[in-house]
Amino acid sequence: MTTKQTTTALLAALVLSVGLGSSATALTLQEYLDQVTGQSTAYQGTSNQAEGSYLKSREADLIFTPQLFAEGRVGHDGKPSSPPVMVYDKLESQMYRLGVSQQFNFGLQTRLYYEANKTDFVGANFGPGVMREYWDASPKLELVMPVWGGGFGRTAQANEEILRQQNYADSFSNGSQATNILVGAEAAYWRLSAWQDVVKIQEQALKAAQNIYDYVARKQKMNLGEKADVIQAQALLESRTLELQVARNEAQDALRAFNKFRNAETYSPVSALQPVDYKALEGIVVPVQRPGDRLDVKATEAQLNAAKASSTLVKERNRPTLDLAGTYALNGRDEALNEAMKNAGQSQRDTAYVGFSFKMPLNVGATSDAKTGALKTEKAAELNYQYATYAQEQDWANLTRNLNDARDNLRLIGRIEEVQKSKLENERARLRQGRTTTYQVLLFEQDYTSASLTRVKSAANILGLQAQLKLYQAASSEGGK
């Protein structure tokens, strides 16, 4: 093997190794999105808010959950005794309660608890057989049932729905913002990739223009060419220089947007990006059916549900109220607490009450206005939701139509680029043979460069549209998660 052959082989191996190295270290789209989710405070803020709001919606489950409660009170009463014959210095008392309360979704409010009361008539002398100090022990059951305003659980159910749906709306809204950030980041990734390719194309175009200029300049010096050819070639060279500078500026702008999404330094360098698979893009299948609702639409739906519940709450709150109530207790009394608790099981010492409570607002005008306002708010939320669903359908139709058109255009542009490349190569060969003019080559060079740039930008447009499809992915039931 000659020295020249050895050198050529080494250069080829070096080029191959560099190419493989750059491909291996290229930042893939998924790696970039992982950087965005891991480093972007904007994404983390909206994502955490979405998850937090969904978890807060579980607070609605606590409305109808049993509650353990405990109460206690210690004090004294020093006012004169009544009747006067019951003479004592002051009355000391203690009260303790421990039990469970629950509100049921059909309206019933219950409290089941054990109550212990200690009474001490300080300084009293009631005579033989009369206790001055004793304990009362009572297991008690209290029931309240609304049957008119808020009757049969309507108010409680409305409160539960408001609490749940308001948090759902916040969760979906923030989830929509988080998804938009990822969609925007994906579009920024492909935009930067596209402009990196545009820069390469413009660099090649500039190099070709330089070659043409050098060629016609040599011919003109040897009096074998026209000065007009040199001027035309120089004009092309200057034009290509400007176009390369514009492409580099656009690439820098794309880099700034790229780094902004991942919270990196403004001009933090990127070695290489995932290459665009043009053939795959030419064969993409555009979905016909929408996979699901966008999260912003689901947020509007949750706002509608909250408005309906709020309207119900206002209506029930401003109705006359009629509550039926009942209390039942067993009673035991003794100087010792444990004996009082044993005696509490005797039914002949029980206590029972039933009753009702009624209340009606007298300002009829204000009540009517409040109800009317609640209904209008509900109607407004319904109209907002109707428009959101309509707009979503229109946006989906536009997105799929644009994606179909962009894919078909890319196929045609790919074929045009191949034709323009063949035409340019043939014309360059004819120029070297003196069978055509420099002007003709310049025109063909312009056509080929234009086709290449159009193909790159068309591919970036498709990838950006594809990213928007993720806005319509079927959402889980967990709010905006």
- Check which CATH number belongs to the domain holding 52 and give it: 1.20.1600.10
One domain for residues 36 and 182: yes
In a domain, 375, yes or no: no
- Tell me how many degrees the CA angle 58-59-65 measures, rounded to the nearest 5: 100
Residue 477: pLDDT over 50: no
Burial call 283-292: b when 16+ CB within 10 Å, e when fewer: ebebeeebee
Q: In total, how many domains does the chain have?
A: 2
Q: In angstroms, how far is CA 7 from the centroid of its own chain?
A: 58
- pLDDT averaged over the chain? 87
pLDDT (0 to 100) of residue 344: 82
Residue 15: pLDDT over 70: no
Helix axes 154-221, 438-468, angle to 10 degrees: 170
One domain for residues 295 and 351: no
Residue 480: pLDDT over 60: no
Using CB atoms within 10 Å of the CB of residue 312, give its burial: 0 to 12 exposed, 13 to 18 middle, 19+ buried: buried
One domain for residues 75 and 32: no
One domain for residues 190 and 298: yes
The residue-averaged pLDDT of 91-100 equals: 94
Q: Is the pLDDT higher at 15 or at 55?
A: 55
Burial call 455-471: b when 16+ CB within 10 Å, e when fewer: bbbbbbbbbbbbbbbeb
- Tell me how many degrees the CA angle 18-23-28 measures, rounded to the nearest 5: 150
In a domain, 367, yes or no: no
pLDDT (0 to 100) of residue 444: 86
Q: How far is 217 from 228, CA to CA, in rounded Å?
A: 10
One domain for residues 387 and 287: yes
pLDDT (0 to 100) of residue 204: 87
One domain for residues 325 and 234: no
DSSP secondary structure string for all residues of 81-141: PSSTTS--SEEEEEEEEEEEEEE-TTS-EEEEEEEEEEEEEET----TT--SEEEEEEEEE
One domain for residues 176 and 258: yes
Q: Is the pLDDT higher at 329 or at 473?
A: 329
In a domain, 49, yes or no: yes
In a domain, 289, yes or no: yes
The residue-averaged pLDDT of 335-348 equals: 82
One domain for residues 229 and 335: no
Helix (H) or strand (E) holding 437: none
The residue-averaged pLDDT of 344-372 equals: 88
Give the number of other Cβ atoms within 10 Å of residue 69's Cβ: 11
One domain for residues 342 and 207: no
The residue-averaged pLDDT of 272-301 equals: 91
pLDDT (0 to 100) of residue 175: 94
HSE-up (13 A, CA, CB side) for residue 49: 16
One domain for residues 45 and 76: no
* Lookup: tokens for 440: 């003709």
In a domain, 5, yes or no: no
Confidence of residue 384 (pLDDT cuts 50, 70, 90): very high
Confidence of residue 205 (pLDDT cuts 50, 70, 90): confident
In a domain, 19, yes or no: no
Burial call 184-194: b when 16+ CB within 10 Å, e when fewer: bbbbbbbbbbb
Residue 8: pLDDT over 50: no
Residue 165: pLDDT over 80: yes
Q: How far is CA 405 from CA 286, 402, 465, in A?
A: 10, 5, 11
The residue-averaged pLDDT of 330-338 equals: 89
pLDDT (0 to 100) of residue 5: 38
Q: Where is average pLDDT lowest: 168-172, 202-206, 345-349?
A: 345-349
In a domain, 312, yes or no: no
pLDDT (0 to 100) of residue 85: 55
pLDDT (0 to 100) of residue 229: 81
Give the number of other Cβ atoms within 10 Å of residue 76's Cβ: 11
| Phi and psi torsions of 288, nearest 5° | -90, -50
One domain for residues 175 and 250: yes
In a domain, 214, yes or no: yes
One domain for residues 191 and 94: no
Q: How far is 299 from 166, CA to CA, in rounded Å?
A: 9
Helix (H) or strand (E) holding 274: none
Which range of residues forms the domain containing residue 51? 26-57+162-302+380-472
Full-model pTM: 0.80
- Tell me how many degrees the CA angle 259-45-190 measures, rounded to the nearest 5: 30
* Lookup: tokens for 464: 């950006």
